[in-house]
Amino acid sequence: MASSVLSAPMASIGVPTEIKRDEQRVALTPDGVSELVSHGLEVRVQQGAGSGAGMADSDYAEAGARLVSCEEAWGAHLVVKVKEPQPEEFRFLREDLVLFTYLHLAAYPHVGQALLEAGTTGLAYETVQLDNGHLPLLAPMSEIAGRLAAQVGAHLLERPHGGRGVLIGGCTGVRPARVVVLGAGTVGWNAARLAVGMDAEVFLLDRSPDRLRSLESARTGRLVSVVSSRGLIERLVPTADLLIGAVLTPGGRAPRLVGEDLVRRMKPGSVIVDVAIDQGGCVATSRETTHTDPVVTIHGVQHYAVGNMPGAVPFTSTEALVSVTLPYVIGIAGRGLEEAVTERPELLSGLNTVSGSVCHPSVAKALGVPPRHPMACLR
């Protein structure tokens, strides 16, 4: 069944409205629809899907989309989304469906189980990986999340918002806030850059000397880049006014780098922004929160751990996301998944589930099931 479904071009593409709490992004822009229609593809957009991102139904209709119900959008051969399906959407999962979205199955194992039970082909944006290790479909959201992390952290340090009353950049004669960033990937580098731009004192930690060396030419201001170690984390975290967790394990759970004992040692009113929460979080005390209710205070420390941070800026995030996903959508729908992975081999690492099997080793490990090679899943 999988082979016949995945080898053929997909005549229809569905764009459902995102129903995850506080999620306002949408998987396609009107311009993206126009491009797909020009390739002879049918695009079904659920009515109101783009309203949260400032994109009107009339714009989609003018671009050539069919405005449809939720059921009709999910009934397409290829469904593109932003976030993982919610429990209310599990009824739409089926064997002849290809779902292309952020899945983060290590953090949401119940979603993985639903995909496996339905036999759905789950293609995850966040695990599509080039030979050089780059994650092209995760990068724009990571960039936005990193910048938001510094921005949100600075806001939460203000006393009216529960913080220590520290101005992130300090002022003449008064030291700035100390910001500790765990991880120098796209999230961490963007968080560090923005924090430095606000004149904070920033420590950027990463396990890879090569990664830190590659960033050296762009290092400015009060930014210190340091090779991470457990001892260094234990010394720096208690001194942080703002701690940003930005570690990444593609497809797997984030490593727990900060234990509860370290959180207890942090200063009252300090702030943790755990961007890794959609992979389970890298701080032991982090719990996923929402944009509506984003902060939980534990041991006197504010924890911000919103699972869809870029959803706070849905217009920017949608435009950025579609700019990188659209070529893949065109390839998958226009030529079928088997041919698309031949032309773009990085899509193989994006395959998480096919016909009841898990095809990504890190996802399989997180879900506690044996992995199958993605090419074997496609045949």
Q: Which residues are catalytic?
A: 104, 278
User: Which one-letter amino acid corresponds to residue 114?
Assistant: A
**Would you state the structure tokens that stand for residue 59, as one six-digit string?**
């714009």
Which residues have CB under 8 Å from 345's CB, separation 6+?
A: none
**Would you state the structure tokens that stand for residue 318, as one six-digit string?**
């949608």
Pairing relationship of beta strands 351-354 and 121-124 according to DSSP bridges: antiparallel
Helices (H), the chain: 2-7, 30-38, 57-63, 70-74, 109-118, 139-156, 186-197, 209-215, 230-236, 260-265, 314-335, 337-343, 347-350, 361-367, 374-378
* Contact criterion met (CB below 8 Å) for 363 and 251: yes
User: Vertex 6, ends 118 and 368: CA angle to 5°?
Assistant: 45
CA distance 83 to 213: 34
Q: Which of 340, 285, 275 is nearest to 310 (CA)?
A: 275
Residue 177 phi, psi (nearest 5): -65, 150
* Contact criterion met (CB below 8 Å) for 99 and 72: no
Three-state secondary structure readout of 154-168: HHHCCHHHCCCCCCC
CA distance 186 to 134: 10
Pairing relationship of beta strands 301-304 and 295-298 according to DSSP bridges: antiparallel
* Contact criterion met (CB below 8 Å) for 282 and 257: yes
* Contact criterion met (CB below 8 Å) for 306 and 290: yes
Pairing relationship of beta strands 357-358 and 351-354 according to DSSP bridges: antiparallel
Chain length of the chain: 379
**Would you state the structure tokens that stand for residue 122, as one six-digit string?**
């789950």
Cα 35 to chain centroid distance, Å, stands at 25
